Structure 1
Amino acid sequence: MIKKIVTQYKKLFLIAYSGGVDSTVLLHKMLKIKEKDPQIKIRAIHINHNLHSSSKKWEKHCTEICQKYDIPLIIKKIRIVLKGNIEEKLRIKRYNTIYNNLLDDEILLTGHHLNDQCETLILSLKRGSGPTGLSGMSSESFLGKKKIVRPFLQKTKKELEKWAYKNNLKWIEDFSNTNISYDRNFVRHKLIPILEQRWPFFLKNCFRTTVICCEETKLKNMFLKEKIQNFINFNESLNIKNFRNMKKEMCKALIRYWISLKNIKMPSYRIIECIYKEIVCSKEDANPKIIINKNEVRRYKKSLYFIKTQKSIKDTFLFWHDTNKKLLLPNNLGYLTRNNKGFTIPIPKKNELINIRFQFEGKILILGREKRRKIKKIWQEYNIPPWFRNQIPLLFYNDFFISAIGLFVIKEENFNKEKKIKENWKISWISKVKLNNENFFAFY
């Protein structure tokens, strides 16, 4: 497998080197290949988790081995808050650190083996995962935009240890791996030995299961990739207009695939079920939401939106004392600036305080209209989703509501009956939030 990788890919490799037997075998196998092909460039990276009293000793061991074989070694120390799912936090931190040290043309090699794959499969079963989760680790996948290869996925731990002993290799033993309070260690030391004793080919069959699930997932995704094009709107929302006329299973598959395009950790089956039942199947006048980490799935006008959860700013006041300078808006909403290309608005009087707010209730009369309407109806007319209405900068002079920047202006007589204002100025709202020709907000 390693020889195939070397011939198939480029000549730059970064080895995830913990100092344990798996990564040690990987390192030495690559060195043997390098002896025959000197053009191969090998680097290693060691992540010190700072969780064990022997962490510095392990770091020193890896440094000495790499110096012995003239392998450039990157040492990175990471720390996490020791609460919640420590294993998951460490994995995320570790891979982010490795990714940031990968060169553009470099391929990451890890020592994951068949036992690791089986452990991953069992843990996925514990979580109630579907075929995607049961696919386990792929021998080749991507870490961000960079390639990660696991050449030992069809080799057992015993096979790697046998090769290590045969070649008189030295490695470290992480005794924290025997702590069965961690789920993976419990599976490794308590479950798998019993299963192997009963069924000697259990590990091999686990691998076959992951391969089958992976193939099924790929086929399903090929189908969904083509199918979903009929449901994705211009602003990346999901059109659910016809979902009630479709099979529930198809609707949930489309929702799951749509969320997979957002580059987040896939939510559980239960969350997908909740999105279908509580959002897709809810009443038309309902305003439900499902929270996924720091994001929300919301519905508006027969479409699902995937948005980042924003801090409430409806009670925020911003005074714009110097209009020659940009006014920075909260929640990454961009800024306001005075220029010749912006939204035309009546200019304030000298003694009026220009201020920006993000909330208004009541009826308003906007320019070009003859009747007052509730602002809620105006938002609906402009197709502004409920969750975004308190994110739009509202311009006030003193306590008079003047304009929703980029959308509408209040009719002059509504706030200045004594003297009509003839002078105007222009304000631009520079933001990633854009309006298209149909006055429908797009979220970028």
Structure 2
Amino acid sequence: MSLESRLLTALIPQRHARAWRIAYSGGLDSCVLLHLLARLTRAQPLPPISAIHVHHGLQSGADAWADHCRETCRALGVPLEVARVRVAASASLENAAREARYAAFETRLGDGEVLLTAQHRDDQAETLLFRLLRGAGLKGLAAMSPTRALGRGLLLRPLLGVGRGELEAWARAEGLSWVEDPSNASLDYSRNYLRHQIIPAFEQRWPAAVPAIARAAGHLAEAQGLLDELAELDLASAATPSPFAWLELPSLALEPLRALSDARQRNALRQWLRPHVQLPDADHWAGWCDLRDAAADAAPVWRLDQAELRRAGERLWLLDGAWLKTPPEPSVSNLHGEIELVGNGRVRITGAGGDALRLGYRQGGEWLQLAGRGRRDLKRVLNERGIPGFVRPRLPLLLRRNEVVAVANLGDLTGSGIFLDWSPPTGDGRLS
């Protein structure tokens, strides 16, 4: 089957996309993809195509590369956008450039649009080897997926089944010209070392090494897919509604997880944590065991990347952002309308008079006169209601000296007719 036919077959699921955007670096791989797509769209009713060239500004020839891309796209009649990015200082220039590049793609991808990138089979093999040497888990060893969500659209890699040699042969047969990034020859970069030193040595002993390694990545991706399905099944039994509907934080019931093997617990938690935090490495999972096995009256914490997993009773709660900081004591003179609490969401008071009431947080020693039950310590009331320990220091109170007149979101406990409706913070945006 010709290269054009294989590309078209890979693109069939996206034939009705609003647009195809080509990630065009000017190098060999993206040059072939651009020319193939330009040819296909002239011959068939396909989505409109355009190209995006990311100008990193890291090489002295970067401006000339952008000019080359403009000339090529002009000759093909393909609209081109040159996106200039700033690459952050980082220990890994490769990673920083990649992050800047994909951030540029993401912001430019519209609803229903598809970004087409030119990674191929040799790239897939390099990715698996690179991640293997870093001790990646199964998801990392599955290497690059053929498709994934990106911003408001989709990223598609239609050439993953094609070797670099075939792309180069096609380009030379068509008389194409492309730019060569001199950094691609530097062995200081790990991927280049694999590409120029390790993989050729493999191929000398095993000529089919690259297709075999790429095929293994496909098998690992399938296995990861099965584990993801198992995780969703396991999480379904733990994702019971929280008893505190107003506490809009990710949470799970602990008991269904305890019933699983250790490996299935980790698998389910990885699936649950993945959208929110950088997953812990293998050694760090001891923190999960400590949290899970702590005494019933303990308040264990598993500290993750810019987040914490807390246990309150038999439930797990994931906290980040404002929840990891102690809010300052409210300084509010007007108790009417919706009141913004610094670092602690918003509260609205209804039914309150103006008799020396103030907003505050628990300091210790507070008490309240329960309707029909007499005087009770606030701590005892919160225990009875099962309020999680991490909520208590920031739970808004309406106070008259040391007497609690109302407690946020617990109704009218004192019979005063006063209610506090509190909308807690939801984190820094990742957990909202």
Normalising to structure 1: TM-score of the pair? 0.82
Shifted more, 84-93 versus 230-239: the winner is 84-93
1:47, 1:394 → 2: CA distance? 53
Match of 2:408 in 1: 405
2:348 is aligned to: 337
Match of 1:296 in 2: 308
Determine if contact 2:124/2:214 at 8 Å carries over to the other structure: yes
- Corresponding residue number in structure 2 for 1:211: 218
CA 1:193–1:72: 2 relative to 1, 3 Å: same
Give the counterpart letter for 1:165 in structure 2.
R
Alignment match of 1:257 (pick from 253, 261, 271) = 271
Alignment-derived partner of residue 281 in structure 2 = 268
For the pair 1:248 / 2:248, whether they are aligned, the reply is no
Partner of residue 77 from structure 2, selected from 38, 51, 70 = 70
Q: Which amino acid in the other structure matches residue 334 of structure 1? A: G
**Matches of 2:394 and 2:45 in 1, distance apart?**
59
1:418 is matched with which residue? none
Give yes or no for contact 1:244–1:281 (8 Å, CA) kept in 2. Answer: no
Instruction: Output aligned runs, 1:85-124, within 5 Å.
Output: 85-124=92-131
Matched-pair contact (CA < 8 Å) for 2:327–2:394: no
| Residues 48, 78 of structure 1: 8 Å contact kept | yes
Query: What's the offset of the Cα at 1:41?
Result: 0.9
Q: Do residues 370 (structure 1) and 381 (structure 2) align?
A: no
Q: Is the 8 A contact 2:122 2:214 kept in 1?
A: no
Alpha-carbon contact 2:341-2:347 (below 8 Å) kept: yes
CA distance in 1: counterparts of 2:335 and 2:300, whole angstroms? 39
1:382 paired to 2:391 = no
Q: Measured at CA, do residues 86 and 371 of structure 1 come closer, stay the same or move farther in structure 2, by a change above 3 Å?
A: farther
Letter in 1 for 2:76: Y
Quote the Cα distance in structure 1 between the aligned partners of 2:327 and 2:296.
29
* Matched ranges for 1:31-430 at <5 A: 31-37=38-44, 39-144=46-151, 146-235=153-242, 236-241=250-255, 243-260=257-274, 262=275, 264-271=277-284, 273-310=285-322, 314=326, 316-324=328-336, 326-331=338-343, 333-338=344-349, 342=350, 344-345=351-352, 347-349=353-355, 352=356, 355-368=358-371, 369-373=373-377, 375=379, 377-396=380-399, 402-407=405-410, 427-430=420-423
CA contact (8 A) 1:367 1:409 kept: no
Q: 1:121: Cα distance to partner?
A: 0.6
Does structure 1 conserve the Cα–Cα contact (< 8 Å) formed by 2:87 and 2:97?
A: yes
Counterpart-to-counterpart distance in 2, 1:289 and 1:96: 33
Instruction: Sort the Cα spacing of 1:305 and 1:144 in 2 relative to 1 into closer, same or farther, 3 A.
Output: farther
CA distance in 2, matches of 1:160, 1:229: 45
Instruction: Give the gaps of 5 or more residues in structure 1.
Output: 413-421, 434-442
The alpha carbon displacement at 1:284 in A equals 2.8
RMSD across aligned positions (CA): 2.9
2:298 counterpart letter in structure 1: A
Q: CA deviation at 1:159?
A: 2.0
Equivalent position SS for 1:203: helix
Alpha-carbon distance in 2 for matches of 1:39, 1:252:
44
- 1:217 is displaced (CA, Å) by 1.6
Deviations 1:379-429 (A, max 9, x none): 3333222222233223345776543322367869xxxxxxxxx8x665543
Secondary structure in structure 2 of the residue aligned to 1:387? coil
Q: What is the number of residues matched between the two proteins?
A: 413
Aligned pair in 2 of structure 1 residues 283, 218: CA closer, same or farther (>3 Å)?
A: same
Any conservation in 2 of the 1:313–1:390 contact (CA below 8 Å)?
Answer: no
Moved more, 178-187 or 18-27: 178-187
Gaps of 5+ in 2: 1-5, 243-249
**Could you tell me whether the CA contact under 8 Å between 1:364 and 1:374 is conserved in 2?**
yes
The AA in structure 2 aligned to 1:295 is: A
Query: 1:10-61 CA deviation, whole Å, 9 max, x = no partner?
Result: 2521101111111111101111112212654101111122322222222222
Q: 1:85/1:384 Cα in 2 relative to 1: closer, same or farther (>3 Å)?
A: farther
Instruction: Give % identity.
Output: 27
SS at match of 1:46: strand
8 Å CA contact retained: 1:355, 1:396: yes
Q: CA deviation at 1:258?
A: 2.5
User: Is 1:2 the counterpart of 2:14 in the alignment?
Assistant: no
